[in-house]
Amino acid sequence: MRRFIIGLFTHGVALAIGFALGIYLLPILTSPPSPDSAMLEEKAQGALFTAELTRDLPGSDFLHWGEGTISLSATEIVHTGALSPGPDYKLYLTKEFADDEDSFNAIKADALQLGDVKTFGGFILAVPEGTDLESYNTVVIWCESFGEFITAAKYR
């Protein structure tokens, strides 16, 4: 009986570790290739606004972070840098700066979701026609599946 309980426990732990690794690694394995740095730099040239993403925000941690430069133009948002990998990342524009889960959840209803972030080594995201970037001041990257804050930057 003791051997059965130990076996059940060790197999349960191995299953939990495998599941957690699968959640973490699957987005990395299935993500499309990031745009090359030359393309990102070229696209960022015509930016109306730029801001810096940093790892040291209160809502960021060793598994949920972003760093680099985010550039906003009338037609595209370009990120040059890195994001921690994860599933179901969304990019939002907000009218108030949010630096953790609680502050973002408080303003999420008024935020504008622009689209999916599918690459972690920089991305280019189309801005929908008619979007007024000047009505907002912050870019937030959020993990929708787990309700996790990833990073944010105030651009004006």
Kindly calculate the radius of gyration of the chain based on its CA atoms and give it in whole angstroms: 18
pLDDT in tens, 122-143: 999 999 999 999 999 999 999 9
pLDDT in tens, 29-52: 667 788 888 889 988 898 999 999
Q: Which of 77, 68, 144 is nearest to 104 (CA)?
A: 144
pLDDT in tens, 17-27: 888 777 777 77
Q: How far apart are CA 156 and CA 93, in angstroms?
A: 12
pTM above 0.75, yes or no: yes
Distances (CA, A) of 136 to 67, 76, 94, 111, 156: 21, 15, 5, 9, 8
pLDDT in tens, 81-110: 999 998 899 999 999 999 999 999 999 999
What tokens were used for 101? 């889960």
DSSP string covering the chain = -HHHHHHHHHHHHHHHHHHHHHHHHHHHHHSPPPPPHHHHHHHHTT-SEEEEE-S-STT--SSS-EEEEEEE-SSEEEEEEEE---SSEEEEEESS---SHHHHHHHGGG-EEEEEE--SS-EEEEPPTT--GGG--EEEEEETTTTEEEEEEE--
* Predicted confidence (pLDDT) at residue 28 exceeds the cutoff of 70: no
